[in-house]
Amino acid sequence: MTAPDPRDVAAVGLQLGRTPRAMTGVAHRCPCSLPDVVETRPRLDDGTPFPTLYYLTCPRLASSIGTLESEGLMKEQTARLADDPDLQARYEAAARDYVARRDRIEVLRGVPAQGGMPARVKCLHVLVAHSLAVGPGVNPFGDEALERLPEWWRRGPCVDPDAGEPGAGAQS
């Protein structure tokens, strides 16, 4: 496995406010060209399981997703899940996709998909990261949340890796 590009690691470090852990590479880039989702190893360097395969890093995107969560979108989605067998089947397929992709790096026996998959909607950040990393049509709730998000990149990059600090308009 090739090491992540040092510029990407620096940008993600600025986005997170800390050194990224277990990062294997960029899974998706924001329209501003910076990483907004990274892929991570299923275990941290000390062996601790880290089952979040796709980790959302852009602070603006994370904040916008947090707004959707606080507005009750997860509760609404979980309620729909209980009443829609087709949606259940698509969400179960999304969970299988997530675990299969994680297993290609390393199998974590007995560790389910993240974000609440497939039983409920627990974390939109994970579901959106999955949708961005693999493209539309795989995670129905990640796709739905993405459709509701504002264009988080419109104000320009959230960090400036060349300056080593948050970019203009970045949230702290």
pLDDT in tens, 104-156: 999 999 999 999 999 999 999 999 999 999 999 999 999 999 999 999 999 99
Where exactly are the structural domains of the chain? 6-159
Q: What is the DSSP letter of 33?
A: S
pLDDT in tens, 47-59: 999 999 999 999 9
Judged against a pLDDT cut of 60, whether residue 74 lies above it is answered with yes
d(CA 170, CA 172): 6
**pLDDT, position 163:** 77
Q: What is the DSSP letter of 43?
A: B
